[in-house]
Amino acid sequence: MQDISTLIAKPLCHARIDTSALRHNYALLKQAADGKKLMLMVKANAYGHGLLNVANTLSPEMDQQDAFGVARMFEAVQLREAGIQSRVVVLSGAMSFNDWQLAQQLNIDLAIHNSEQLQSLQDFCSGLRDGEQCHFGVWLKVDTGMHRLGFLLKQVPKVIKVFESLEKHLEKPLVVMSHFANADDINDPFNSAQEKVFLSVKTAFENSQISSIEFSLPNSGALLSRSNNESTWMRPGIALYGISPFQDASVNSSHLKQVMSLETQLISIKHLEKGEGVGYGQNWHADKPTRIGIAAIGYGDGYPRELPNGTTVCVDGLACKLVGTVSMDLIAIDLSGAETAEIGTRVQVWGDELPVTTIASAANTIAYTLVCGITQRVAVDLV
């Protein structure tokens, strides 16, 4: 009997992941970092690009000093189980005492951003023998104004005293970090304000009895737009995937190459007469006889329902317009700009022919939500 899996058609909608573009972006960011270390953000399934796809592509390219950054412990375990030996940092930190034990076993770094986690680290270290060290690294997060995670400035002196007593158990340098809130706007004065606060924190730690300390502040936007002299580590995320981290599209990040292209194909052709509408709500009507292509993609794949009529869609490389409401599985396209398109013709809704930032702007959102939001039924293909 024939294997049923061989009879199943290839999914119509797929995300094409350009591994050469990914390697190009890493090299570009490494150059921009000017000798500093990089923590490459691969959280949220590598921003929708596939955690193991990205890690397996970049691991052979990476500087041995660089690391991968994830949000949750299970992501770090996935990397270790897949044989990834690069340094891995869990930015949410330990949620239980068992997480410290797992970090010790698998050599996974953990962030600390509150007093409960700090106490948990102290409890773990109290169980170590004299001279025994933690295999994991510790990343201490300080709140410089974003008010999301991190120790308040008034807590810093107490935290320093704790680490002065714990340093004998730390195999790796303590990394003190914070996070920019507005680095996507290079003219926002809050960036400099946060930087000033971070420098004061840096001075406090440098004046302590802790002998081995590193520092990390910049994300993608700061890495590409600021001097970052105060940091040992840079933490690029969205830029790694070839997407500009800046609000202002005129800010030059053109050397980045977009890694994900979300594509599908036409599965039907319709001929509308003047005045006829298409899709739910009939919010678009033809102003002349119009050839309409129906493509196999919708909000069930992660293509936003909020996109308005006129949003650009590329049909075999030609710019066309979305018409009608995006439905769960289908969209309608005015094929006036692609007269030779037929059933089976390739359709790209964002990618190397159409910046995802353009589509995000049309949907009144950010590119992060689009690439992170592709759903499980979208096939992910490496090229």
- Average confidence score pLDDT of the chain: 95
CA 184 from centroid of its chain's CA atoms: 14
Does residue 109 belong to any structural domain of this protein? yes
Q: Are residues 300 and 162 in the same domain?
A: no
Of 184, 210, 241, the residue at which a domain comes to its end is: 241
- CATH code assigned at 315: 2.40.37.10
Tens digits of residue pLDDT in 117-147:
999 999 999 999 888 999 999 999 999 999 9
Say which of 36, 43, 141, 202 is annotated catalytic: 43
Does residue 191 belong to any structural domain of this protein? yes
Q: Are residues 194 and 47 in the same domain?
A: yes
> Residue 86 pLDDT more than 70?
yes
Does residue 46 belong to any structural domain of this protein? yes
Entry pTM: 0.94
Expressed as residue numbers, the domain containing 181 is 19-241
Predicted confidence at residue 8, as pLDDT, reads 58
Q: Are residues 182 and 286 in the same domain?
A: no
Active site residue 47: no
Predicted confidence at residue 339, as pLDDT, reads 92
Say which of 196, 270, 274, 280 is annotated catalytic: 280
User: Of 109, 88, 89, which is closest to residue 100 (Cα–Cα)?
Assistant: 109
Tens digits of residue pLDDT in 314-328:
999 999 999 999 999
CA 253 from centroid of its chain's CA atoms: 16
Q: Are residues 143 and 54 in the same domain?
A: yes
Predicted confidence at residue 130, as pLDDT, reads 85
Does residue 249 belong to any structural domain of this protein? no
Q: Are residues 147 and 285 in the same domain?
A: no
* CA dihedral over 316, 321, 323, 328, signed as positive or negative: positive
Of 180, 206, 241, the residue at which a domain comes to its end is: 241
Confidence of residue 10 (pLDDT cuts 50, 70, 90): confident
Q: Are residues 295 and 194 in the same domain?
A: no
The two beta strands, 379-382 and 67-70, are: unpaired
Tens digits of residue pLDDT in 282-301:
999 999 999 999 999 999 99
Confidence of residue 247 (pLDDT cuts 50, 70, 90): confident
Q: Are residues 170 and 316 in the same domain?
A: no
What one-letter code names the amino acid at 330? L
> Residue 29 pLDDT more than 70?
yes
> Residue 6 pLDDT more than 80?
no
Q: Are residues 368 and 221 in the same domain?
A: no
Active site residue 321: no
Other CB atoms within 10 Å distance of the CB of residue 96? 10
* Beta partners for residue 44, in sequence order: none
Q: Are residues 147 and 275 in the same domain?
A: no
Helix (H) or strand (E) holding 47: helix 43-47
At 73, list the tokens.
């412990």
**Tally of domains within the chain:** 2
Q: Are residues 235 and 105 in the same domain?
A: yes
User: Is 107:136 a contact under the CB 8 Å cutoff?
Assistant: yes
Predicted confidence at residue 5, as pLDDT, reads 59
